[in-house]
C-alpha cells in the first residue's frame, strides 16, 4: 500500500494527515483518490470501515477554494447518524486549512437553527436527502456553485426509498458537477442511478471486497421433508431463506405448518391477489419475514440482495431451473448455501446432478433443536399514504426520528407505492414506532398506520 505522499497533495494536507495518523492508504483510497483529485466521476464499491470517507473527503477538501464562501460540495447520507460520522471526520481532515465551514443538514434538528447557519453560508454540506431537499425547495440553500456531489452508502439510500429525493436534489445542481457514488454493493439499481447521474465514471472495486461468489451445495437424503426443513433451519440458522416447492397448495400448507412451530414463514404463489403478493414480497425483502415458501413462477421478480440460503424442498424439474434457483444466493461476494432434499421418490432424478460439486448428507446428521424458533429482525409498519399523497421516505424517517426516541438505525427499508408506504422497524421498537406515527402528523397530515 502506498503512502499519501505519493499523491499530489498540498504540504499542509500531508502534515495534517501525518498528525492524525493517516500515513498509508487503504485500497479504496489508493484507487479512488487519484481520479477524485482529477475531478473525474467515480463509482466505488466500498463498505463501512474501508476508509471511503477519507477517500472522498481528502479529494473534496483538497480541491476546495476557501476564499469562495459558497457551497462547493454536498455529501448525501441515508441516516442522520452516518451524516454525523461523515461530518466529524471531514472536520478532522479539514484542519489542514483555516476557515473551512462544514454544515450538517439532517432531520431531527431545528429547521430554524439550520436557516440561521445557512444564512452565513458554508463550503461543504453533509445531510440527509429529505432535509436537504426541504432547504432547496424553500430557497434557503443554493447549489448553483457546487462542484462535487457525493452519494455515500448509495445502496442503503435506495433501499430506504430516497431515489426520488436524490433525483430532485440533482435537479438543483450544475450539470458540470463531479459526482462520486459509494456503495457496499453493485446491482442493477446502483448501475441505473450511476448511468443517470454520472459521466464516464471510473469504476473501482477493491480486492479486499472483490470475492468470488461461492455457493455450498448440499444434497440431503430424507423421508420426512418437513422435519428435514426444520432440522436444516435449526442447524444452520440462516438469516433468511427461500424454500422452493412445486405446487401452490404445498406452499400454503408448509407456511402454515412452520408458523405453528414459531418459524415465521410466508407463502408466495400464483393464486395471490396483487396486494397480497406485494405484502409478502415487501416483508421478505425488508427483513420482516425470514422464510419464503415459493413456487418457481411466483418467485420471479424477488429482489433480495443478501439471501443466505436456498432450499429445494421439491427438486427442480430440470438442472436449468435448479441453477436459476440456487443462483439467488451467494451474490455480491457473500458465501451462499443451497440445500436440496432427496426423498426415495426423487432419488432417480438425483442421478442427473452427479457431475456437480456437492456434499451429500443424511438428515440424521443434523441437529433438530427442541423449541427452535425463527423470528424476524424487523416488523413492517403500513402507512395509508404514498406517492399520490406526495409522501417521501425523508418525511417518514424524519417523523420517526425527530425527537430522538428512535434513531435512523432502527429504521430499515422504506417502500413507497401510490397509496401505501411500508416501513421496516427493528422488532424491539415496533410498538414505539407505531404509537409515534399514529399520534402525530407527517407533512402536516394524519395518516392511518397499522402493523402488518
pLDDT mean values, one per 10 residues, the chain (452 residues):
86 92 89 95 83 93 93 92 88 91 87 89 94 94 95 87 91 95 84 92 72 77 92 94 94 96 92 84 93 82 79 87 84 81 73 73 83 92 91 88 85 89 95 91 91 93
Are 121 and 155 members of one domain? yes
Within a domain: residue 371? no
Alpha helices for 187-224 (secondary structure H): 188-197
Q: What is the pLDDT of residue 300?
A: 64
Does some domain include residue 321?
yes
List, in sequence order, every residue forming a beta bridge with 76; answer none if it has no partner: 127, 151
**126 inside domain:** yes
Predicted local confidence at residue 210, as pLDDT: 42
- Does residue 95 lie within any of the structural domains? yes
- CATH number of the domain to which 31 belongs: 3.40.50.300
Are 297 and 413 contained in the same domain? no
Q: What is the largest CA-CA distance in the chain?
A: 78
Q: Report if residue 386 sits inside a domain.
A: yes
Whether the CB-CB separation of 388 and 419 falls below 8 Å is answered with yes
Residues 175 and 242 both lie in one domain: no
* Closest listed residue to residue 40, CA positions, set 24, 63, 22, 72: 63
φ and ψ of 380, to 5 deg = -95, 130
Whether residue 184 is found in the same domain as residue 327 = no
Cell reading at 409: 438505525
Count the domains in the chain.
Answer: 3
Domain boundary among 175, 205, 235: 205
Nearest to 382 by CA among 396, 362, 368, 371: 396
Strand partners, 396: none
| Residue where a domain stops, chosen among 205, 233, 248 | 205
Domain boundary among 187, 205, 223: 205
Are both 200 and 218 inside the same structural domain? Answer: no
- Residue 211: predicted pLDDT: 43
Q: Is residue 141 part of a domain?
A: yes
End-to-end, the C-alpha distance of the chain in Å comes to 50
Whether residue 295 is found in the same domain as residue 147: no
Do 33 and 180 reside in the same domain of the chain? yes
CA distance 304 to 291: 12
What domain range includes position 306?
A: 214-365
Is residue 225 included in any domain, yes or no?
A: yes
CATH number (domain holding residue 404)? 3.30.70.330
Domain-located, residue 372: no
Residue 187 pLDDT: 75
Residue 124 sits in the same domain as residue 13: yes
Q: Are residues 29 and 169 in the same domain?
A: yes
Residue 98 confidence (pLDDT) = 87
Amino acid at each position: 500500500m502506498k503512502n499519501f505522499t505519493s499523491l499530489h497533495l498540498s504540504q499542509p494536507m500531508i502534515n495534517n494527515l501525518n498528525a492524525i495518523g493517516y500515513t498509508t492508504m487503504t485500497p479504496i483510497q489508493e484507487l479512488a483518490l487519484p481520479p477524485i483529485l482529477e475531478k473525474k466521476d467515480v463509482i466505488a464499491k466500498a463498505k463501512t470501515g474501508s476508509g471511503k470517507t477519507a477517500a472522498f473527503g481528502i479529494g473534496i477538501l483538497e480541491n476546495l477554494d476557501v476564499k469562495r464562501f459558497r457551497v462547493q460540495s454536498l455529501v448525501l447520507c441515508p441516516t442522520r447518524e452516518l451524516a454525523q460520522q461523515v461530518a466529524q471526520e471531514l472536520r478532522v481532515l479539514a484542519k489542514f486549512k483555516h476557515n473551512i465551514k462544514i454544515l450538517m443538514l439532517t432531520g431531527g434538528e431545528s429547521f430554524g437553527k439550520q436557516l440561521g447557519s445557512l444564512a452565513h453560508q458554508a463550503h461543504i454540506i453533509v445531510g440527509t436527502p429529505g432535509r436537504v431537499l426541504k432547504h432547496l425547495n424553500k430557497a434557503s440553500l443554493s447549489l448553483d456553485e457546487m462542484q462535487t456531489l457525493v452519494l455515500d452508502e448509495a445502496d442503503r439510500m435506495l433501499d430506504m426509498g430516497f431515489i426520488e429525493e436524490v433525483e430532485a436534489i440533482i435537479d438543483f445542481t450544475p450539470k458540470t458537477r463531479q459526482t462520486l457514488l459509494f456503495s457496499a454493493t453493485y446491482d442493477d439499481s446502483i448501475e441505473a442511478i450511476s448511468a443517470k447521474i454520472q459521466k464516464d465514471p471510473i469504476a473501482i472495486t477493491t480486492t479486499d471486497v472483490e470475492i468470488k461468489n461461492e455457493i455450498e451445495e448440499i444434497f440431503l437424503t430424507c423421508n420426512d421433508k418437513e422435519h428435514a426443513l426444520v432440522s436444516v433451519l435449526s442447524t444452520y440458522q440462516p438469516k433468511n431463506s427461500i424454500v422452493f416447492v412445486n405446487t401452490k397448495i404445498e406452499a400454503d400448507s408448509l407456511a402454515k405448518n412452520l408458523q405453528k412451530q414459531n418459524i415465521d414463514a410466508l407463502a408466495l404463489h400464483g393464486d395471490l391477489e396483487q396486494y397480497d403478493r406485494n405484502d409478502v414480497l415487501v416483508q421478505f425483502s425488508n427483513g420482516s419475514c425470514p422464510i419464503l415458501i415459493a413456487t418457481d413462477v411466483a418467485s420471479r421478480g424477488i429482489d433480495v440482495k443478501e439471501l443466505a440460503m436456498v432450499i429445494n424442498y421439491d427438486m427442480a424439474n430440470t438442472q436449468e431451473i435448479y441453477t436459476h434457483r440456487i443462483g439467488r444466493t451467494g451474490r455480491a461476494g457473500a458465501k451462499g448455501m443451497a440445500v436440496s432434499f432427496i426423498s426415495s421418490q426423487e432419488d432417480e432424478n438425483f442421478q442427473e446432478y452427479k457431475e456437480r460439486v456437492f456434499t451429500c448428507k443424511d438428515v440424521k446428521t443434523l441437529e433438530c433443536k427442541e423449541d427452535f424458533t425463527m423470528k424476524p429482525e424487523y416488523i413492517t409498519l403500513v402507512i395509508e399514504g404514498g406517492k399520490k399523497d406526495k409522501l417521501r421516505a425523508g418525511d417518514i424517517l424524519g417523523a420517526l426520528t425527530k425527537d430522538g426516541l428512535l434513531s435512523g438505525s432502527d429504521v430499515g427499508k422504506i417502500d413507497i407505492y401510490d397509496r401505501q408506504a411500508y416501513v421496516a422497524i427493528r422488532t424491539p421498537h415496533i410498538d414505539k414506532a407505531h404509537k409515534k406515527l399514529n399520534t402525530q402528523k407527517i407533512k402536516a397530515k394524519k395518516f392511518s398506520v397499522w402493523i402488518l
